[in-house]
Structure 1
């Protein structure tokens, strides 16, 4: 059947929570510890899907039907192929995370769907979720007999570590501790002085003002373009608006907008590409590498989503941004450049592209 090997990753819906728990049970029963009796504590952990969603995120991989089948699939409910949870350190579901770290829990793939890259795609989607929180790292543990998971995490760059987190004293933790675990950690930040995360609701106006300042600093803006730049609230709902903040003071230093998984943010992007818009650095923060960090974020998102290229448009007057793109290895995309009219001005809208470097491929929407 067309689309039989395709899948999409998204947040689990509340009506799917029982199916998420059932899938997790089936997956673990088919694993190296499936012969062990399931304790009441373990079952409670698996069934606490709503709690994990409230404390972080529960993601699912669902079968992607062909376009002709999509209405029937919606009516019948999506077929779940895998799931993973991401929780915060303060969550009762967390075992290892400390501070602002995110913890990956209960990665599970339906036995009949194994061998399709689902585990890797879910782990990468969980990593993206942690990025949206501004987490400095993702931590996780897996049983010593779970060699398949160990190979996956080590291929994705996770390193073994000795946890400094206090061991929980709950019955659920005690039950899990009867199985020997290996602890893993994946750093998400290259720099300690910046935190990059999604914008918060109470920061929308500040990001709008910052973005307008950034563009007015070097460019002459038409009223229409200025209004578009400042229209952050609907952009944050439809797409993703990221901020770079000073790690010590929390001061907002820059922003960029990217599409949500499975969509685009401009007419420029084609299948297999991620586009971004409105890269802005507050003038007082220039020279700190904020624009470079936000551009690298867009490249990392493309890698995590298994996309091939990053593309973006830029006006001819934005020479500072052009120097940054050249430094990072972007090339001009001449065949997609077009002439546009902005107020009483007519100019060529430039296009840039870069191939996405990756050691591994994910399969996602």
Structure 2
């Protein structure tokens, strides 16, 4: 059991982190998938592709990877709704065993800081309509709904867009 007062350490993923980062992502999104045979699970698990084609960051508690986020810079194939001058992130995930310990918010602050440093004027994201707990965190941090960019990658999957000015 990790120390409830341990500090979250944020860093770029290393090759040895990729399998764990993939499993953390699968576990965090499990309730939103159709189960192990859902084709999206393989995409969630593929941290190596996210690291290669975007920036994969991890969060550690007590030396263990417990969270991850994909920072999709302009030109990354992981971008979905970002426009020029906007940052976009994907697949923010926190291990269910450490949720509500500040890991997700620490990852969000990292994303915002990263895009500020790059000179972005805003950050955007897409989120499943069912992810209401995440929506509350985004809104508390200053994100606002962007309904004109809501979209559906496949029938039955509705994604809500959010944006925050930097």
- TM-score normalised over the length of structure 1: 0.42
Q: Which residue of 2 aligns with 1:351?
A: 161
Work out which structure has the larger RCO, using CA pairs closer than 8 Å and 6 or more positions apart in sequence. 2
Contact kept in structure 1, 2:126 and 2:160, CA below 8 Å: yes
1:224 aligns with 2:46: no
1:198 aligns with 2:30: no
Question: Residues 340 and 235 (structure 1 numbering): CA distance in 2 closer, same or farther, change over 3 Å?
Answer: closer
Question: Residues 333 and 230 (structure 1 numbering): CA distance in 2 closer, same or farther, change over 3 Å?
Answer: same
Shift of 1:301: 1.0
Shift of 1:192: 7.2
1:241 aligns with 2:56: yes
Q: List per-residue Cα deviations over 1:8-52 (Å, max 9, x = no partner).
A: xxxxxxxxxxxxxxxxxxxxxxxxxxxxxxxxxxxxxxxxxxxxx
> Pairwise mapping of residues 291-310 of structure 1 onto structure 2 (< 5 A)?
291-310=104-123
Distance in 2 (CA, whole Å) between partners of 1:331 and 1:295 is 15
1:323 aligns with 2:133: no
1:210 aligns with 2:24: yes
Contact kept in structure 2, 1:229 and 1:278, CA below 8 Å: yes
Distance in 2 (CA, whole Å) between partners of 1:287 and 1:208 is 20
> Pairwise mapping of residues 282-293 of structure 1 onto structure 2 (< 5 A)?
282-293=95-106
Number of aligned positions between the proteins: 159
Shift of 1:221: 3.4
Contact kept in structure 2, 1:339 and 1:348, CA below 8 Å: yes
Question: Residues 253 and 331 (structure 1 numbering): CA distance in 2 closer, same or farther, change over 3 Å?
Answer: same
Report the structure number with the largest CA radius of gyration. 1
Distance in 2 (CA, whole Å) between partners of 1:327 and 1:203 is 30
Distance in 2 (CA, whole Å) between partners of 1:322 and 1:228 is 22
Secondary structure (helix, strand or coil) at the match of 1:338 reads: coil
Distance in 2 (CA, whole Å) between partners of 1:307 and 1:340 is 25
Q: List per-residue Cα deviations over 1:126-183 (Å, max 9, x = no partner).
A: xxxxxxxxxxxxxxxxxxxxxxxxxxxxxxxxxxxxxxxxxxxxxxxxxxxxxxxxxx
Contact kept in structure 2, 1:197 and 1:244, CA below 8 Å: yes
Which sections of structure 2, spanning at least 5 residues, go unmatched? none
Q: Which residue of 2 aligns with 1:263?
A: 75
- TM-score normalised over the length of structure 2: 0.89
Secondary structure (helix, strand or coil) at the match of 1:237 reads: helix
Aligned-residue Cα RMSD (Å) equals: 1.7
Shift of 1:200: 0.9
Shift of 1:348: 2.4
Contact kept in structure 2, 1:242 and 1:256, CA below 8 Å: yes
Contact kept in structure 2, 1:254 and 1:291, CA below 8 Å: yes
Shift of 1:347: 3.6
Q: List per-residue Cα deviations over 1:66-103 (Å, max 9, x = no partner).
A: xxxxxxxxxxxxxxxxxxxxxxxxxxxxxxxxxxxxxx
